[in-house]
Amino acid sequence: MVENIKLRFIPETHELACHPLYLTVLVKSCTKPREGSLRENVIRQVYKELHDTMQAAVSERAARALVQLAVELELLDKKDLHWTAKGHVINEVSADPGTINNRFKQLNLKLGETGKPFRHVSLRLLPKEQIAYLKYFLDADGAFLIHFLRELGPSFSFDNKRQREFLENGGIEKIFEKVADEYLSHVFDIEPRHELNQLLKRVRKGYDKHVRLHKFIPRMEILVDLGILDKVVNENVCYQSALTKNHSSTEIFLDQFNDPKKLDDILSVDGDFFERAAKIYHLQYAKADLNRDYQLLQKEIVKSYESVRDETFRLAHLDAIMDLVCITSLTSSRKLCEWKDVKKIVEKMHKESEKDIRFHVNDWGVISYVAISESYIKEVA
């Protein structure tokens, strides 16, 4: 019997809450690292920031869906909406709010000159952002995304006509049905099985055309911003597989992530997500040598720790540190390391200087946090 399998699909999305950059704005400008906020206040604030300040095509309902999406992706705590470890990572790998705001200003100026609607815009992410968001979308919606891209095929072109045919023929419902059936074959706990059966019950009734769009457009736009798809805009919008060095990004994606059931292992502490991400984004790298590259990784760990630690208790979530070190090492130093490698370096640092490197457990007694002394940081830096 297989237990504790995470269900990786997001059942509810919104057509206008469709860009990861919107989530970045939500994290950086509308929520806080450790202080909680009322959901209605956050919804109003992100709507004002995106709609009023940045003139993005976002409704109040979309702003509400965006906040829920951030919770589903585990960027924000589901109760208090403060940053999680993933939220800290997004804050660190993304541009500052002023730069993001200027980007929206330039986009709106261009749209004003061409007369095209905002939905024709692509908000492609930076390499660091792409890797982080790819990981977090796979963790939350990976089963759907894998079946979705498998259904579209490695070298597809989706114009308005084909999109309409796909949706009218129940393409979205069929993907959800495949996801649910696949999970039901190896998930045996009562609560997730109930969730899966409820999903099946809903999709077999069929969605109306508006609901289908709300589930189709966000996935397409997210995959465009992640660099997996391209969006070609003429009179209408056409989605197609991105080509890098004459290779289909969709095909590479499906080579690296071909089975939703394997995501539990790939995204685990012992997984190899970052090597797979490097192949998708054609990043040249050398695998980190934990002896030869010890000082390089040690400095990166300390730097990441300083960027996400709590000011009062000096605690930082190990998950955030491990993601930041892996992402930065790959994109800046072209050194490939996985969570298990960073974990070994942190454990070595602790072994060599126990009084300066202290571990702390979460509410379930699992080591999840680290505190590093100021003297140790000065010495390493």
Residue 275 lies in a domain: no
Which of 234, 264, 294 corresponds to the end of one domain? 264
Which of 264, 298, 320 corresponds to the end of one domain? 264
The C-alpha atoms of residue 270 and residue 263 are separated, in whole angstroms, by: 12
Q: How confident is the model at residue 3 (pLDDT cuts 50, 70, 90)?
A: low
Give the per-residue pLDDT at 1.
37
Residues 43 and 181 in one domain: yes
Residues 320 and 375 in one domain: yes
Residue 8 lies in a domain: no
Residues 243 and 370 in one domain: no
Residues 290 and 259 in one domain: no
To the nearest 10°, report the CA torsion of 216, 221, 226, 232.
120
DSSP state of 76: B
Residue 252 lies in a domain: yes
Residues 301 and 258 in one domain: no
Residues 201 and 305 in one domain: no
Q: Which residue has the higher pLDDT, 155 or 279?
A: 279
Query: pLDDT over 90 for what percent of the chain?
Result: 87
Residue 49 has pLDDT above 80, yes or no: yes
- pLDDT mean across residues, the chain: 94
Query: In total, how many domains does the chain have?
Result: 2
Residues 113 and 179 in one domain: yes
Residues 219 and 304 in one domain: no
Residues 298 and 174 in one domain: no
The C-alpha atoms of residue 143 and residue 141 are separated, in whole angstroms, by: 6
Give the per-residue pLDDT at 114.
85
What's the mean pLDDT in 54-60?
93
pLDDT in tens, 335-352: 999 999 999 999 999 999
pLDDT in tens, 207-242: 999 999 999 999 999 999 999 999 998 878 899 999
Q: How confident is the model at residue 2 (pLDDT cuts 50, 70, 90)?
A: very low
Residue 116 has pLDDT above 90, yes or no: no
In sequence order, which residues have a C-beta less than 8 Å from that of residue 286 and are 6 or more positions away?
334, 335, 336
Which of 264, 296, 328 corresponds to the end of one domain? 264
The C-alpha atoms of residue 222 and residue 10 are separated, in whole angstroms, by: 13
Residues 35 and 154 in one domain: yes
Structure token pair of residue 138: 């796979």
What's the mean pLDDT in 35-40?
96
Residue 350 lies in a domain: yes
Residue 320 lies in a domain: yes
Of the listed ranges 85-94, 156-165, 282-291, the least confidently predicted one is: 156-165
Residues 259 and 291 in one domain: no
Residue 86 has pLDDT above 80, yes or no: yes
Residue 155 has pLDDT above 80, yes or no: no
Residue 115 has pLDDT above 80, yes or no: yes
DSSP state of 287: E
The C-alpha atoms of residue 374 and residue 231 are separated, in whole angstroms, by: 48
Domain of residue 227 covers 20-264
Please report, for the domain that includes residue 304, its CATH number: 1.10.10.10
